[in-house]
Structures are given as structure tokens and as C-alpha cells.
Structure 1
Amino acid sequence: MSTDEPGPDAYTARSSRVVNARKLQRRRGRDKAERFLAEGPQAVREAISAGVVTDLFYDLDADTRHSDLIDAAVAAGAHVHPCTDEGLAALAETVTPQGLVAVCRFLDQRLPEDPKLVAVLHGITDPGNAGTVLRAADAAGADCVVFGTDSVDPYNGKCVRSSAGSLFHLPVVRAADTADLLDVFAHAQILAAAAGGDDLYALDAAGDLDAPTVWLFGSEAHGLDEATAALAHRRVGVPIWGRAESLNLAVAAGVCLYASAAAQRRKLEWAHVLRSPRIYPARRVRAGRLADHSSPAGCGRAARLF
């Protein structure tokens, strides 16, 4: 049994284990230790299932409410530490702590071979948006999510919470350079979510969304920079039929990912319908802009995604 009992008293905010774990609230501390924090029963449950929990801190109330998770953590070989309310509050990053904070190992993730659907986040600095995109990608059945150039750390506490456990479900890769990363997906179509792009649903109707696809998403405030958007085969916008001025990044990303996922599944279900395969030529980032593809006429104005 790996339970660490701190004597008659629970750990406080000044206990050395709590002080050391608190360093993981900053990216420098996370990268140095190759550990991060997962807060709340949902995240802790998924982290335990993924086998990455090394330590679990809990308040005395959680000892009763979440005894199953504490037992599961012990069974998985984690050290568990009862804390005072003050001690747990020092580790929690929410206004109302949920009683559980786990220390987790970095997830050793690699890009999957021949992925069908990938989301690439470029310059997305808002951890809430990034985590929600990750959650949408997981729900849509994506094969991978890449945090590219200048994007938030996927192990940021708010990003982990916003992912609602999805961080532990699919490969999440940190890439130093988005452009170089795209070379890995040599035979997938690269679609940039951008204002003024081709109508998403017109492309779907034309059968242009069922191929292996890498979606590029930029920041909500500024979208994709011109150089990165130019790396895509197409720029695609979500049509707005109502009076909204724009769509939230995470909402737009969810719409795009689900459109691709649905098209790819229809293709599998209708495999008896013969169609010549589309081949997307290998591309080199430094070789200049790819040839522009023609697109069907849109039906509605393209959304300002960000």
C-alpha cells in the first residue's frame, strides 16, 4: 500500500509535498519536473485510468465523497495525501476546490500513423478555448491534437480542466513549429479555418470533406497569420445564417471537426459507391504556397471565426 500518512495532522499549505506540488502551477515548474496537476474528480478519474498519477492530494471531505478514486489511486501505485482545506486550496486553481488534485506524469504522446482527422492549434493562447477545442476533437473522434507555434501549454491547469478529461483520451502533441509539423501529414488535405474562406457546407455537399484532413485553427482575436494560412490547401469558413457577428473559436472548431468526422463516416458507410480517390501531393513548407484549389459556390456568408 502506497498511502503516505503525515502523522496525526493532514498536510497544510506549508508542508513540503504541497509546496513542491504547487510549483507545477507554472510552466517552468511543469517542464522541469515533467509533471502537471489535474484537479477535480473527472480529471483525476481519467488520469488514474491513463496510469499517469504519481500523487493524489485530497481534503477530508473528499475522503468520504471520493473514496473510490482514492482507493483507485492507491491500487494504481500512487501516493495519497490527506490535506487541510488550506492545504488543498494552495494546490487548487479554482475558486471552489473540488477536493482532489493529482500530480500526473507528462503524457508520452506521438503522432499516430496515417491519421484521418487532426486538429492543429496555432497561436492559441487562451487555455479555456484550447481545452474546449481538445474536448471537441475528442468527441468528434479525432486522431490527434497538436499544440503548435506560440500556443498555450496543454498542461496548463485551466486547459486541463476545460478538456474535461479529454487530455487523457487521445494523443496531444506539443510542436515547436507548426509549419514544420505539417510536413508530417504529406497526403492529407490541410484546411485553414479562416474568415472569408470557402463555405464549409458547400465543400461537404461536394464530397470534399471525407478525405484525411488536418484542420488549422488560429487565435480567437487574430485568427491565423497569413504565412500559416497560406500553407493550407484551402481556407474554409463556417457560414453564418443568423445575425451573430462571429463564432467563438471553440464553437467554430467543433463545427469544422464534426463536419469532417461525419463526412468520413458517411464515406465508410457508403463504401459501395465508387469514386476515384483524391491524392494530396506531398508538400514542403519552405517551397512556397501550394496551388490554389477551386471551390464550389458557397451558400451564405462565411463566418468571422475569431
Structure 2
Amino acid sequence: MLARTQYQLEASDLLTVLALVRAHTLAGAGERLGQDASTVFRSVQRIERGLGQPLFQRSRAGYQPGELAQSIAEHAEQLELALESARAAAQTLPEQVAGRVRITTTDTILHGLVAPALATLRAEHPLIELELHAGNEVANLTRRDADIAVRATRRPPPHLVGRHLGPIRVALYTARSAAGRRHAKLALDQAPWIAPDDALPDHPTVVWRKRHLPRVVPVCRVNSILTVAELVARGLGIGLLPLFLAQARSDLLALGEPIEACQTDLWLLTHTESRHLRRVSAVYGHLAQAIALP
């Protein structure tokens, strides 16, 4: 109890705890802090001794934060925001926007919609640094794993603020090659299918196909919609693809009108505390204007 009342947390302590809460491993926290794992380990031990209680539960799964560690991390996030804002302000003129902005999305949306908008963003704000994360898992904006998310969803998380960018329409495609045209002549339940069943079991295209064509077993199961597009274009089978990805390709042929049941919505999301930062606001506003859905 004596140690707990005497120990005064420093700013570096808060950032150390925050890094380990986010990474769950010493190595991951060290990478975020620019330190080696042993240094992070010694820092955590020192903080826990000073506070007189453990902050993390150690297990084979890594370091799991306790209630106090979570509370410290929340305060550390405010410190992190203040530091980033101060650094950006110190390095730029009043009319300039600078700093790092983390964007998370899926590989399909990144390649089909976000990437085309980045060239004009760089020309408009050359001092902004972009960190892009593409994956099907949703990065935690609350924990500052990302500043902005571009996501396909019908129900965006209520704790985030965002803008509805429009509907993502989906249609069935085959290749324009001879193989693709042969596939187009087959009944839908007889044609070879490419689909992300195991990687995205709840994806609207997977749900629709299983409901309307329950006998179909895909000849190729893949881990992303972007891979579906590549394999379909090579004539390996047919597949359901978003129009924003398929319409720009000359090697894909639509097999009908968009399927309404496969449609979902595209949202541009950020955290309430991040949206007022100049660099986040600049990127958010640019993406809102530049991303256009067919």
C-alpha cells in the first residue's frame, strides 16, 4: 500500500502500458515503442512494483490487461492524441496539414475505391503520412488501432461517427475468355463457382448463394473477394463481385443485373475524439468526396 501511494506515473509509463494493452506481447509493444522486448518487460515490472499490484495476466496467449491497465490505457490514449497534435502543430505552417493517419479497410475496398483516391490526396496534403491496413477483421478505432475505417456494413458500430457513402451493388460475373463464355452457358447450379465460404461465411454473397443454390459446392474457396475476381477473370469459374471492382476490368463479363439481396452499404467511419484532428478531418473529408460507387 505504501508503494501504491508513493509511486507517481510518468507519461512514458502510460505509453508503455498502452502499447502492451494493444499488442498483447512484449515484442509487439516494443515495436510500437521503438524498444526491445526486454526493455518493455523491465518497464512493466517497475510500474507494477511501484503501483503495488499486477497490471497484466501472463499466459500463453500473451499479456491480458486487467481493469487497472485498461483504465491507464484510456488515459494514455488522450496523452497520445495530445502528443500527436502537438508534434503536427510544431512541424507545420498554419495552413498546412501534417501527421500520420491510419486507415483500415478490406483489400477489395482498398484496391477498388480507396487507392484511386490517394493520389489526389497526396497532391493536396503532401505532409500527411498514411498507414494502411487491409484485412477482413475490424481494427479497433476505440483503441486507436486506426483513425478511419472504410467498411461494408449494414449496421455501423454505434460508438463511431460516420458517413454513408452509398450502396455496394453486386452481380454475378464470368471471364470474357472462351472458358468464361462456356461457364455462362451452364445453369448456375452446374457452373464452377469461386467463393470465400470459409474466410467470410457471413458475407452477403455467400449467404445468398447458399440460400438460392444450396447444391453448389465451390471449386475454389478463397480468402478474399479480390481473389474471387482474379480467379474468375482467369476463367476458373463464376463468382459474385461488387460492381466497383468488376466494372473497371475488361476481362470480366456480367451475367445479369445486380442482385439486390447481396447489396450492402459502404460507410466511412471514425472515432468521435479523432474526427476533430486536422489530419484526420482532412483525410476523412477527402475520402468522402473522392469515393464514388457505381
Same fold (TM over 0.5): no
Relative to the length of structure 1, the TM-score reads 0.27
- The higher-RCO structure (CA 8 Å, 6+ apart) is 2
Question: Which one has a larger percent helix, Structure 1 or Structure 2?
Answer: 2
Report which of the two structures shows the higher radius of gyration computed on alpha carbons: 2
Relative to the length of structure 2, the TM-score reads 0.27
